Chain A
Amino acid sequence: MDNSPNVAAAGAADDPETVEITDSGASLMTDAERRERQIRRVVGVIVAVTVLSLNFEQIQLLTGPNRSVLIQATVTGILIGGVYGLVSMGLTLIYGVLHIINFAQGALMTVGMYSAFSLVSRFGFDPYATVVFTVAFLFVIGAIVQGLLLNRIMKESLEKQLLLTLGLSVFLENVLLLLFSPTPRAVQLPYARGSTSVFGITVEWPFQVFGAVASLPRTIAFFGAMALAGLLFLLLQRTSLGVRIRSVADNPRGAALVGIDVQRTYILVFGLGAACVGAAGALVLPFLSLEPTTGESFNVIAFVVVVLGGMGNVVGAILGGLIIGLTQQIGGIIFTGQSNLLGVFVVFVLVLFLRPNGLLGRAH
């Protein structure tokens, strides 16, 4: 009998529909049948429209000798998707336990990036060595935010909590703007070109795979993000702290009655969620340009990922991150001339309407 990696409660308070009292979910209700058919129809229409709207050039791109463009998109998409997964994992963890939509997730990531940047430019740290610091620093910030601010309004409406995190986001972003000015910053990785040896195998960077190129910093970011996500997952599944967090997510009332200090658990969880983006920020610094608004795009994407994966579902966040990373890159090819976010938002809207519980959430 496997333990579900779900952090979400068995009856999430924000279900678009009231939870049906069926026993195993296998019972077919007419609503579900109708939905299935609807989904199939809409997916069919979308595929048809997409295929028909692709002109000849684009079809060549995808299948012909220029397949490498598609492969490159796939590689880039998966690599960045790993980072999206880590960012979203923090967001979904916060939502699953606290039922708070943390609009400041992106801004916190930017704080992480600027902290890492300061350490690198001021003290000459290796960018990846700063991860330890940013994780700890953002954990503390998250804990303080929850302890001082959010814990007081846990009983208020969802909009109020969202507005508070929005206010925090605006505040953080503009404090960064004040401190660092809008000038874009960047950090170079001195060993991005060259070779490294791992377990006796020598690898040349940038790495060539199937005709596509993967840069060292992006690859490190991917594996780093996956490793940290795995650690967080193990923490939630195997440690007693993790069981405690999942208990509070499942039933805060029951948790209080069992002797768990729920307020303190909230503080810990928000800290963990912030620590995720602290790490992500340090990981992306070597290959992204840094401005006070850099975190904004991660913020938006994280919301799409969380809804796609199922709000509160940490495995769904990882999966969703990879899918959205792919969607972004491949969508950028298919919808030539449009922003690569458009495909992402199309997916977002589709998920919201057709399967708001996400891929790994319970069926509608």
Chain B
Amino acid sequence: MLKVDGLKAGYGGLTILQGLTLEIAQGEIVALIGANGAGKTTALNTISGVVSRTSGTIEFEGESIADLQPHQIVRRGIVQVPEGRELFGSLSVAENLRMGATTLPRDQFDATLAEVHEIFPVLAERSNQFASTMSGGQQQMLAIGRALMARPTLLLMDEPSLGLAPKLVMQVFETVERVRRAGLTVLIVEQNAARTLEISDRAYVLESGEVALTGTGKDLLDDERVQRAYLGM
């Protein structure tokens, strides 16, 4: 579904991705783990079109998406839940969700909204509340819900569990699995490597802008190097 080959990208004069190569097949949950600064967020942002590539290719369902504008990428079906959520703080929950459906045909809006409300009942309860006044966990739910409003085929998640209490972290990962069961493909970037690898089909370990290791989730969990570097063992 998504094929990235030799991708180089960065900010200003600084190149962060030094030749990223990865593949995601439909229906998979793929994890991207690695230390801070390894390039995980840059990878997602380049796929989303927020960062321009300097070289390499990005192909989605057979077509190159490398030089598209961010809103065009969303229209293709790739939606990101960004690090820091990037919600519309001065808008209400309902308006945030409505904006999430910007690229959705109008006749699908009601049904999709109902589905998102079903997954995250708290969003239905607090429909008219300002996004900025919600708690961290609720904001994360809203961020994911807003992304789902676009009915993506590929969901990119950047550190969804960041700053959340353990109970909420569990909720987030449950949501990821639930979303996959509904037919979505997920690329998830996380520092919480253990939990992520548990639910992932496959994973890539990113170091200094390149793939250092790859394998199935289970394999990497058992890998000594991974255990030492990222699982604190």
- Rounded to whole Å, the gap between the CB of A72 and the closest CB of chain B is 40
Question: A1 and B92 in contact (CB under 8 A), knowing A251-B86, A253-B50, A257-B82?
Answer: yes
A51 to B123 alpha-carbon distance, docked (Å): 56
Q: Contacting B98 at CB < 8 Å: which of A10, A243, A251?
A: A243
Q: Which residues of A contact B75 (CB under 8 A)?
A: 259
Tell me whether A9 and B90 are in contact (CB under 8 A). yes
Among the interface residues B95, B129, B132, B150, which one has the most CB atoms of the partner chain A within 10 A? B95
Among the interface residues B69, B71, B89, B103, which one has the most CB atoms of the partner chain A within 10 A? B71
A258 to B102 alpha-carbon distance, docked (Å): 7
Q: Which residues of A contact B85 (CB under 8 A)?
A: 254
Tell me whether A257 and B48 are in contact (CB under 8 A). yes
- Rounded to whole Å, the gap between the CB of A12 and the closest CB of chain B is 11
Closest B residue to A6 using CB positions: B90
Tell me whether A257 and B99 are in contact (CB under 8 A). no
Closest A residue to B81 using CB positions: A257
Which residues 66-93 of B have a CB within 8 angstroms of A?
69-71, 74-75, 79-80, 82, 85-92
A254 to B82 alpha-carbon distance, docked (Å): 8
- Rounded to whole Å, the gap between the CB of B221 and the closest CB of chain A is 31
Tell me whether A243 and B79 are in contact (CB under 8 A). no
A258 to B96 alpha-carbon distance, docked (Å): 9
Tell me whether A259 and B89 are in contact (CB under 8 A). no
Q: Does A22 contact B (CB under 8 A)?
A: no
Question: A244 and B99 in contact (CB under 8 A), knowing A6-B90, A251-B88?
Answer: yes
A259 to B101 alpha-carbon distance, docked (Å): 8
Q: Does B146 contact A (CB under 8 A)?
A: yes
Tell me whether B90 and A259 are in contact (CB under 8 A). no
Tell me whether A247 and B71 are in contact (CB under 8 A). no
Tell me whether B102 and A250 are in contact (CB under 8 A). no
Q: Does B171 contact A (CB under 8 A)?
A: no
Q: Which residues of B contact A255 (CB under 8 A)?
A: 88, 99
Question: A10 and B70 in contact (CB under 8 A), knowing A243-B95, A253-B50?
Answer: no
Q: Does A302 contact B (CB under 8 A)?
A: no
Tell me whether B90 and A4 are in contact (CB under 8 A). yes
Q: Does B128 contact A (CB under 8 A)?
A: yes
Q: Does A150 contact B (CB under 8 A)?
A: no
A258 to B89 alpha-carbon distance, docked (Å): 14
Q: Does B137 contact A (CB under 8 A)?
A: no
Q: Which residues of A contact B34 (CB under 8 A)?
A: none
A10 to B128 alpha-carbon distance, docked (Å): 17
- Rounded to whole Å, the gap between the CB of B116 and the closest CB of chain A is 14
Tell me whether A260 and B86 are in contact (CB under 8 A). no
Question: A246 and B91 in contact (CB under 8 A), knowing A257-B74, A258-B100, A259-B71?
Answer: yes
Q: Which residues of B contact A247 (CB under 8 A)?
A: 88, 91, 95, 99
Q: Which residues of A contact B100 (CB under 8 A)?
A: 258
Tell me whether A3 and B92 are in contact (CB under 8 A). yes
Tell me whether B88 and A250 are in contact (CB under 8 A). yes
Question: A257 and B90 in contact (CB under 8 A), knowing A243-B95, A244-B102, A262-B71?
Answer: no
A243 to B82 alpha-carbon distance, docked (Å): 21
B122-153 vs A: 1/0 string, CB under 8 Å? 00000011101000000000000010001000
Besides the known contacts A244-B99, A250-B89, A254-B85, 18 further A-B residue pairs in the complex with CB atoms under 8 A apart:
A1-B92, A6-B90, A9-B89, A9-B90, A10-B89, A250-B88, A251-B89, A253-B86, A254-B87, A254-B88, A256-B71, A257-B48, A257-B74, A257-B80, A257-B86, A258-B99, A259-B71, A262-B70
A residues near B (Cβ < 8 Å) are 1, 3-4, 6, 8-11, 240, 243-244, 246-247, 250-251, 253-263
5 contacts between A and B (CB under 8 A): A1-B128, A240-B98, A250-B88, A258-B150, A263-B69
Q: Which 4 A-B pairs have the closest CB atoms?
A: A259-B74, A254-B86, A10-B89, A259-B103
